[in-house]
Structure 1
């Protein structure tokens, strides 16, 4: 269980599912649909949905490319955390938002697998959170022209490595959208 005291709650994190980030992403529509299903389930189960939104010189705040995709719309009152680094915790209000909701366990979805998703997973885990990755609810664009493996392999590798993540007092894991339990313990 989490190493954070008195933080039994879970939150769904939706990382950088913004127009320009996922425009050419692998399996974009399927991933966005899986995230949408999780968002609706979280809302029904009264689990906080926390939206993460990157802003920088390429994703100019307020621009169309910076906006969260139209299929996913934050509701009034749902926190939107703005960031400038890959790790959603670095120089943001994310920790404050999660603490206010009593969250010690995060369920992570979004983009890009090999950058902000991985950084946020590790950022949460080293800060004491139980951390689950939804294996079919994250994506990336193909970076093979720069020497990266094909995006399908990047996703598969991330899912595999997060399945075996461990540290004292914390749990981690990877599950599919259909198997996410937003209110119970991580798979053991």
Structure 2
């Protein structure tokens, strides 16, 4: 039920699953495996997969930390978007990429839950996208030494509140990797 006109298609957005971003992430291997399953489901259903990579001083383009983890291999025809901010839409080509694909519905996965995932979810939602968070396909590092809750609580809280996000003319939802079915829409 997206508010975007003539945008009936769905895409999977894989955010910042880069060596340097997820090296110390909570349940890294399980989350990366779920993202791989999600990507394969998308490819098997002819749903576009869009890859987003953080590019900055910490993760300069071409560095090992900048590269997508080796367990995930973007397809040659799959769009890639570089970003410098938490919200994957902010000062990037993501909106143009999704518009060209006719996408109005997003499934979001990646890292880090409490930064780029949250920012991208909200960025997509306020721009009119139906936005689904894949609950077992995002992660974050342990930031408790700076006062943050433990990673499992950050992830659980994000999953909880995203399932109750509302706005006129669009939907927010949560699903597990297993529950993702690209044949089913979230239109009301």
What runs of 5+ residues in structure 2 fail to find an aligned partner?
Answer: none
- Pairing of 1:48-87 with structure 2 (within 5 A): 48-87=48-87
Deviation at 1:182, TM superposition (A): 2.1
RMSD over aligned Cα, in angstroms? Answer: 1.0
Deviation at 1:163, TM superposition (A): 0.3
What runs of 5+ residues in structure 1 fail to find an aligned partner?
Answer: none
Paired residues of 1:108 and 1:132 also in contact (CA < 8 A)? yes
In the alignment, does 2:82 pair up with 1:90?
Answer: no
Deviation at 1:185, TM superposition (A): 1.4
Name the residue aligned to 1:170: 170
Alpha-carbon distance in structure 1 between the residues aligned to 2:122 and 2:135: 15
Relative to the length of structure 1, the TM-score reads 0.98
Equivalenced residue count is 188
Paired residues of 1:173 and 1:187 also in contact (CA < 8 A)? no
Paired residues of 1:49 and 1:79 also in contact (CA < 8 A)? yes
Deviation at 1:183, TM superposition (A): 3.5
Deviation at 1:112, TM superposition (A): 0.1
Alpha-carbon distance in structure 2 between the residues aligned to 1:187 and 1:18: 32
Relative to the length of structure 2, the TM-score reads 0.98
Name the residue aligned to 2:47: 47
